[in-house]
Structure 1
Amino acid sequence: MHKINLAEKLALFSTHWDPKIVAELNGQHVKLVKFRGEFVWHHHEHEDELFLVVHGSFDMHFRDRVVPLREGEMLVVPRGVEHRPVADAEVSVLLFEPAATLNTGSAGGDKTIARPDWI
């Protein structure tokens, strides 16, 4: 059992759309990710995802609306719901999701990280 300092972990990488695992519990991964720009439209057939904004802000796009998220706010995207994160400036986000979750879900493609690194 070790405490995890999110700021220290975030300082270890600068890549975007490249989630890093910081903890695991009950078959779930806790990940940190930085992003800027638009991600691909996708959904996760079997997994819910939790997004918690650590630094910055972003908009979660759904087909019928946009939900703005600011520092200290979180959102759970239910399984099967198509979504796309969009950030005008770099944002740091904590993700909580099942360990088998692919970041691009149903979309696949060149932004898929099949096995995120531990930091």
Structure 2
Amino acid sequence: MSKTPINLQNKFSQFSEYWSPRVIAEMNDYQFKLAKIKNEFTWHVHHKTDEVFLVIEGTMSIEFRDGDVELSAGEMYVVPKGVEHKPYAKEECKIMFIEPRGVVNTGDAGGDLTAKNDVWL
């Protein structure tokens, strides 16, 4: 067991790619992932799990078919399982995801923005 705290800013400094989540910790079967996001993502659904977005720095939107949720630093939102959504950030935004191990970032959509899973920092 490590007694060293995880420094989020230090972890963010170790990568530059957008839409490419990095695992920084696990708790039971859940992973804590950091990502830098900018511009459009893809419409997608996670059928088996909710998805938590926690904004660390910047602002982002989560688009839904019936409206948007705007998030700023220090705010979080839980997208319920089975709800189609599309994250978006006009400028670079640093976020944390909390989700079960093995969740694919593009859900059921696949495509070019699908990131490799279980990439640790």
Q: Same fold (TM over 0.5)?
A: yes
Indicate the residue corresponding to 1:100 in structure 2: 102
For 1:117, what is the secondary structure of its paired residue?
Answer: coil
State yes or no: 1:42 paired with 2:64: no
Question: 2-side partners of 1:35 and 1:3: how far apart?
Answer: 24
Spell out, residue by residue over 1:22-51, the C-alpha distance to the aligned partner (whole angstroms, 9 max, x if none).
Answer: 001110110000010010000101011111
In the TM superposition, what are the counterparts of 1:1-119 in structure 2 within 5 Å? 1=2, 2-119=4-121
- Stretches of structure 2 that go unaligned for 5 or more consecutive residues are none
Give 1:116 shift.
3.5
For 2:32, what is the secondary structure of its paired residue?
Answer: strand
Calculate the aligned-residue CA RMSD, in Å.
0.8
Number of residues of Structure 1 aligned to a counterpart in Structure 2: 119
For 1:88, what is the secondary structure of its paired residue?
Answer: strand
Q: Runs of 4 or more off by more than 2 Å in structure 1?
A: none
| TM-score of the aligned structures, taking structure 2 as reference length | 0.95
- Stretches of structure 1 that go unaligned for 5 or more consecutive residues are none
